[in-house]
Structure 1
Amino acid sequence: MLSLLCAFSVLPLNIFLPTLPSIAADFHADYGLISLSIAGYAAVSAILELTMGPLSDRFGRRPIALTCLVVFVAGSIGCALATNIQVFLAFRVLQATITSCYPVSMAMIKDTAGKDQAASRIGYAAMAAALAPMLGPTLGGVIDEAWGWRAIFWSLGLAGTALFALCWFTLDETNKNRSSTIRQQLEAYPTLLRAPRFWAYGLCMAFSTGTFYAFLAGAPLAAKVVFDIPPAMLGFYMGTVTAGFVVGSFVSGRYARGYPLTVTMIAGRIVACAGPLIGLVILFTGARHPVAFFGPCILIGLGNGLTNPSAFAGALSVRPNLAGSASGLAGSMMILGGAALSSMTGAVLTEANAAYATLCMMLLAAVIGLIAAFYVLLLDRREALA
């Protein structure tokens, strides 16, 4: 159930991407204005990650998940019925509430499992969440061709209603130690931010995600100017990194419970560092085949799939009574880390350095994530000696 919630929380982000030109034409709107349906969605998602997690600590996980689904369904129906771009964007913002189901699901996993077992379960949930955006654009394109772009939002509304019914009958409340006041929740973030261990886990996740976003920012330009890859093939090459994440998440889910969190975190970061490093070595030898660039980048996805479930489980275990707040704050750190690395990569990219600069930025982010993972190991050893 929680894996399904995680998958559905990320599906609406990109399922409608193939239809953006159709939506722009239908509303006679500028394409740049239509793109706000992505940027605005992401911005609202980051804010909601910070608020819904603490609210789930105060009022319970189940009511927050159900409320998010209700608002999402309303937003989906509003998008389907929109008569102009302003109304469409307003209801698109309401759709962003579904993203809060991800941190709430992570908190529910932590509520029902120990630290090591939580890493394993989070690995499986992350695998489901990675599969959804891989399949989403294809599914959206098929629906658009058959029934038009509005059918995508009708389908999301119908799916959200079905998920609400499923959660209503099968999803039990897992937060047995709710905080007594909202003030207590407002004090949660300073408590977490004063914990060095939470910073270590959070920064490890942020820079792991940032490595992938650096790839997203630089790979399209490198594909065009260095490797002359046609757009149809670019989607395939970029999808291999997400496929690597799915594999890494599966391995984490299968084996993480047998090892300390730091083992899988450090192993994942080492694998992720190896990807851009190998790519740089190959490019310096003069190779100009797309596989020379995209092949090693698969290790980025594999390493992130190994690292993030354990790091997320660790972040939630710093203050178990604040699992919802920790989940929301960690999720926001991941979003902000991705946005920062994407912007930094875009700032240094030129047509002349596209491949090298992208790999260097990826390597920088991966190394910082590795340092954060080693800092967790240092904290573990200090506690063992204390």
Structure 2
Amino acid sequence: MIELNHAKEKNKKISAIALLLSMVLLGVFPIDVLLPSVPSLSSHFNRSPADIALSISLFAIGISISQLFIGPLSDKIGRKSLLLTGMAISMLGALGCALANEYSLFLLFRLIQALGCGCFVLSQALVQDLFEGKERDRLRILIVTASGIFISLSPLAGASLQNWLDWPGSFYIFAIVATVVFIKACLLLENSIMERTSHRSIFQSYRHICTDMRFLGYWLIAALVFTCHFSFIVVSPLIFMEHLQLSEYEFSLTLLLYGAAYVIGGVAAGLLSTKITTNTQITVGLCFIFCAGVMLFYLSHHFGLSTITMLIPMVICTAGTTITRPAATSKAMECFPDQAGASASAGNTLIFVCGGLISALVNLSPVALETTLALSFLLLSTTGLGLNTLIQRRNQRPVFE
């Protein structure tokens, strides 16, 4: 009987991990699968590639707005109902994008899709609810690594869909995959509610957690390293397809190397988590990103813009992101375990706002894109290192009763 219960518990955890990874896939799919279709979208709507790239930043901002409400509400009314509602809205937005014949309508439905996709912030809350200790930390590393693999494979899938179904194809596929995940979530999840926080309003929840400087500091570090990744994703079609004249298929293959860096970073993060402290792991990852900024600046100025001079620094930067982000996220989520929904929403909102705004600034910079990226890596990693140092010093201060 004990062995039977153990087997059931193990199968339930495997199903939960599969659901979480599916949510991660749906969270990154709407952004990265569309990258090879930027020229086609530009032609279809008679807009510049830069306008289409800005729509990706708008998508990130839309997700961040949605997350602000979804997380705290999930603490009050349960994760399951909000996850299902969000997926339904995201499917509606995706189908609207596929059928849009005007750029303004496309942006509207893209925003609707983003608002629905905000429900995938609950993956972090579900990790906090369903797993404990080292198992939880390992799962966060797995999620960040998997997101990188999905990111790198999505453009290749997008290029295939572009050739097969033109740019609307990615939206149709998103709706189909979301339907499958919707059914799986219906069958697997229970609509549990955190009773200790159910009396708090959304404003009270955020006021309670956002006065903790450790919480904000760790989430800001996670946001800074995500911004390095996201800025590159937003401008990558402009660099590789517009400036370097790569085809959609060549561009997609190029990003496969980018995904390999996530695997390397995930393996490194897993090994480091057993050897060094979490704060040291954060420092190591940020140093990787700083080195990537120095290398990108040096290579682009001495050898010119090329696929190699872009990818080598980006691989190093991505490894640093994969090492730092799960460690910073775990430290932040540990601060308020009884408010996992609100904590995940506050952190992910900060991540997407930083990613959306800074990537838009990088995209609009009058300076060469590779130089702007290099400088942003240096500035963001230095800021992250300073924050991590301040947090550690604050933790070491003696507390007087």
> TM-score of the superposition, structure 2-length normalised?
0.80
How much does 1:80 deviate?
Answer: 3.7
Q: 1:336 aligns with which of 347, 350, 353?
A: 353
Q: CA RMSD in A?
A: 3.4
Q: 1:348 to 1:5 in 2, by over 3 A?
A: closer
Report what 1:140 is aligned to: 158
Q: 1:105-254 counterparts in 2 under 5 A?
A: 105-114=123-132, 116-173=134-191, 175-177=193-195, 179-181=197-199, 183-215=200-232, 229-232=244-247, 240-253=257-270
Counterpart mapping for 1:346-365 below 5 A: 349-351=366-368, 355-365=370-380
Answering whether residue 314 of structure 2 is matched by residue 320 of structure 1, we say no
Task: Report Cα offsets for 1:176-234 as digits up to 9, x if no partner.
Answer: 446323x4332121222211101210221122123334545777787799xx7443466
Is the deviation greater in 158-167 or in 274-283? 274-283
Tell me the distance in 1 between the aligned counterparts of 2:24 and 2:241: 33
2-structure distance, mates of 1:156, 1:54: 26
One-letter amino acid of the structure 2 residue matched with residue 110 of structure 1? Q
Select the residue among 115, 118, 122 that pairs with 1:104: 122
Q: Distance in 2 between matches of 1:256 and 1:72?
A: 35
Do 2:69 and 2:202's aligned partners in 1 also have CA atoms closer than 8 Å?
Answer: no
Deviations 1:32-84 (A, max 9, x none): 77667534422211101211111111111111111111222222333344465
Question: Contact 1:215–1:362 (CA<8 Å) still a contact in 2?
Answer: no
**Aligned match of 2:315:** 298
Quote how far apart the aligned CAs of 1:6 are: 1.2
Which residue matches 1:45? 63
Distance 1:363 1:199 in 2: 21
Q: Does 2:391 correspond to 1:373?
A: no
Deviation at 1:261, TM superposition (A): 2.1
- SS across alignment from 2:131: coil
Residue 318 of structure 1: SS of its match in structure 2? coil
Alpha-carbon distance, 1:171 to partner: 2.6
| Map of 1:54 onto structure 2 | 72
CA distance in 2, matches of 1:279, 1:144: 31
Change (3 A) 1:157 1:8: same
What SS does structure 1 have at the residue aligned with 2:201? helix
Aligned residue in 1 for 2:397: 382
1:368: how far off?
Answer: 1.1
Q: Is the 8 A contact 2:68 2:349 kept in 1?
A: yes
Q: Which runs of 5+ in 2 are unaligned?
A: 1-18
TM-score by length of 1: 0.83
1:71 corresponds to 2:89: yes
1:309 is displaced (CA, Å) by 0.6
* 1:94 corresponds to 2:109: no
Equivalent residue, structure 1, for 2:3: none
The letter for the 1-side match of 2:159 is G
Q: 1:292 to 1:89 in 2, by over 3 A?
A: closer
Letter in 2 for 1:378: R
2: distance between equivalents of 1:99 and 1:300? 26
Alignment length (residue pairs)? 379
Opposite residue 364 of structure 1, the aligned amino acid is L
Shift of the 357–6 alpha-carbon distance from structure 1 to 2, 3 Å rule, reads: closer
Match of 2:7 in 1: none
Mapped to 1, the partners of 2:295 and 2:400 lie a distance apart of: 38
